[in-house]
Amino acid sequence: MDKNYNSKDAGEALQQYMVDSMKTSTHHLANKTQDGWISKVTVMSIDRERTWRMVEMDKDNQLEEVVFKIQGILVKKDLPPVTEAPSKDNYAFLQQHIQIMGIGGETFKDTANSIMEAQLMFEQHFPDGAWEK
């Protein structure tokens, strides 16, 4: 962002967009601060502890992967192209990153708190220090 970027208007627009999105999506992370969601999900491995998923029971009593939605203003990205299916031996080396911000919006802060809750839940399944690797 530069001096010409209108942060105030962008923050207000993002806040309104997030509020509107929360009305139509049960999987919006900002909704998760209100319904005790963390007690309804669990973390499990799907391939001998190489890949982990957060799952919940759906209405048919079947496990379903939890997929979240979050809105923010893109600040930074590192999304290298993936042109072929990676080898299972290289899973640990695959990395993609994005950085988003909410410009002080309350809904974005609620979302960040839900992300922290999810991270803490995942951390319980790994030895100390493994999360940083």
Residue 110 lies in a domain: yes
| pLDDT beyond 60 at 129 | yes
Q: pLDDT grade, residue 60 (50/70/90)?
A: very high
Q: 30-42: per-residue pLDDT in tens? A: 666 666 778 888 8
Between CA 84 and CA 23 the distance in angstroms is: 37
User: Is pTM, for the whole model, over 0.75?
Assistant: no
Helices (H), 25-132: 106-123
Residue 132 lies in a domain: no
Q: Which residues contact 96 (CB under 8 A, 6 or more apart)?
A: 78, 79, 80
Residue 131 lies in a domain: no
Number of domains in the chain: 1
Q: What is the mean pLDDT of residues 49-63?
A: 85
Residue 91 lies in a domain: yes
Residue 15 lies in a domain: yes
The answer to whether 101 touches 72, Cβ cutoff 8 Å, is: yes
Residue 51 lies in a domain: no
Residue 46 lies in a domain: no
Tokens of 127: 């030895």
Q: 63-117: per-residue pLDDT in tens? A: 988 887 788 888 899 887 777 776 767 666 677 889 998 988 888 888 888 888 8
* Residue 92 lies in domain: 7-37+70-125
